[in-house]
Structure 1
């Protein structure tokens, strides 16, 4: 009796593994196979049907179809390894350039700071500007969470404030090709490269609240000056690495939140791993629990104060956008 249960458990585990590998193969073919729509659908359909047949034979004790299927799966993995990220594509305007900078003493010169004037998500005046910032004047770090598809998923942006009233925001984003839009499932299958954008808040925060209809919260972080400076430099290092070697975005392991976490760990060791780093919509609660949010009151109080959507929409194109969303 015990042996029978063990055999059943092994068969169940093998079936689960086969199903997972088959699902991955279907996704890889769907999102990466260089073929017309109809041909891609036929190939994916054949793969799924073949996987079901293999699974049926597996339960009946027929392992020859499984061996053929494994050879095909290994061939697919070999093909998958040939798909490499690139900087040479026709990019959407808002991610067409990557920021890098040079440091002389405390002065940082950035070559490509985005400062678009957004009238709608598709109507804008494109501007990329060189800018200088003095790290001795760095006074604050804020984290913005922008929601567009429910409470569990948010885009994470980090904004650095200077004593002259300017704010510079860094954002890890997918590098969309022209006409392309984000698909969270496609993000698991090498569909997008990663880009680091540095931008004026009146561009990068306002486009999300005012042009794209997203809902945004802005929190001040409790961070000593030396750590602020180190985090700023970590972003510059990330920009250099991305420009030197393109990298694929991954919805789970290489997204706007996990990459920021990895940079923050290089600056401040001991940051705990947490499921809310993956469910980025709850990142604010994670920051509160580790004592990283500045301000007084419980979490609900801080969250209420941090909600800036209405302020951003009211400020719109005002020159004092950053000050008004913090009033």
Structure 2
């Protein structure tokens, strides 16, 4: 009963329309009723009707939950306003529309640039795991940056699709509060905004042990996710559909035996999970990988330098190693 009561409380808090005071009134009324019913049941004094009403309320809330549907037509924040589109893909060459290439001066002061980019997947040379921390060591945002032979980088990031003026809430992510979107962006945008503008602490690790075909397969998996989210919206879920679980789900497509692990949920430790899988630079202990992979200071020093991607990788282990031939 307690778990059900808490779930309904969250649903009311994040989904009940109307002014904030109305939500608080509804939450207070529900909490009082749930507590009274629970105490009555525990003391065998509730009788038949309070319990029946309680179950009925749960059923109605469950129906409400099931009827919630994600949308594509809200007034979105600038950085998630456009959907990534796979314009062309012949198995090797891909054309992407709405690659993000913003210039950020602050969260509220930025130049909006959505661009079209073409990539030759035969020129893929590397993939880097990027971890950005903003609320302590347990929680991090996970991104994958793909490197090409011509020096270009393309970063994929699964994010909540915020409405204008909306802020992220981890709890809201349990209650279908947010849609999700797949962002493809230049490193000078999506990494730099986190390290230089939002003040997050950012780490970068070179992924090792993939053949060229596996690397290409991981990239193509992201294209499949982009097509799905372009065709139909989906809800973000803090537990099951977030920036870390998508990396795991896509990686499973090229390595089906990947084990489940608590670090898929406690995302701040995902890099250690990758180390235990043997996909980080071999022969280097994790403490060194983490210390030398911290790119925060280098990113801030690089600023708007066109060589941003090269500068942030200086000293990171494994940077001269890519995929197998």
> Is 273-282 or 77-86 further displaced after alignment?
77-86
Determine if the alignment matches structure 1 residue 144 to structure 2 residue 130. yes
1:242: Cα distance to partner?
0.7
> Match for 1:243 among 218, 230, 253?
230
Structure showing the higher helix proportion among its residues: 1
> What SS does the aligned partner of 2:18 have?
coil
Determine the structure 1 residue equivalent to 2:26. 43
Determine if the alignment matches structure 1 residue 205 to structure 2 residue 188. no
Determine the structure 2 residue equivalent to 1:27. 10
**Where in structure 1 do 4 or more consecutive aligned residues deviate above 3 Å?**
none
Question: For each residue in 1:222-267, what CA deviation from the matched residue of structure 2 results, as whole angstroms up to 9, or x when unmatched?
Answer: 1221111000000000000011111000111111001121111112
Determine the structure 2 residue equivalent to 1:258. 245
Per the normalisation by structure 1, the TM-score is: 0.93
Equivalent residue runs for 1:121-200 within 5 Å: 121-200=107-186
Indicate conservation of the 8 Å contact 1:142/1:219, yes or no: yes
1:186: Cα distance to partner?
0.8
1:105: Cα distance to partner?
4.6
1:104: Cα distance to partner?
2.6
Indicate conservation of the 8 Å contact 1:194/1:247, yes or no: yes
Determine the structure 2 residue equivalent to 1:284. 271
The whole-number CA distance in structure 1 between the counterparts of 2:91 and 2:249 is: 26
Tell me how many residue pairs correspond in the alignment. 310
Determine the structure 2 residue equivalent to 1:306. 293
Question: For each residue in 1:106-152, what CA deviation from the matched residue of structure 2 results, as whole angstroms up to 9, or x when unmatched?
Answer: 21111111000001111100100000011111000001000000000
Question: Root-mean-square deviation (CA), in Å?
Answer: 0.9
> What SS does the aligned partner of 1:267 have?
coil
* Runs of 5+ consecutive residues of structure 1 not aligned to the other structure: 1-17
Determine if the alignment matches structure 1 residue 58 to structure 2 residue 41. yes
Larger C-alpha radius of gyration, 1 or 2? 1
> What SS does the aligned partner of 1:26 have?
helix
> What SS does the aligned partner of 1:270 have?
coil
Indicate conservation of the 8 Å contact 1:296/1:302, yes or no: no
* Runs of 5+ consecutive residues of structure 2 not aligned to the other structure: 315-325
> What SS does the aligned partner of 1:257 have?
helix
1:295: Cα distance to partner?
4.5
> Match for 1:94 among 61, 79, 83?
79
Indicate conservation of the 8 Å contact 1:26/1:48, yes or no: yes
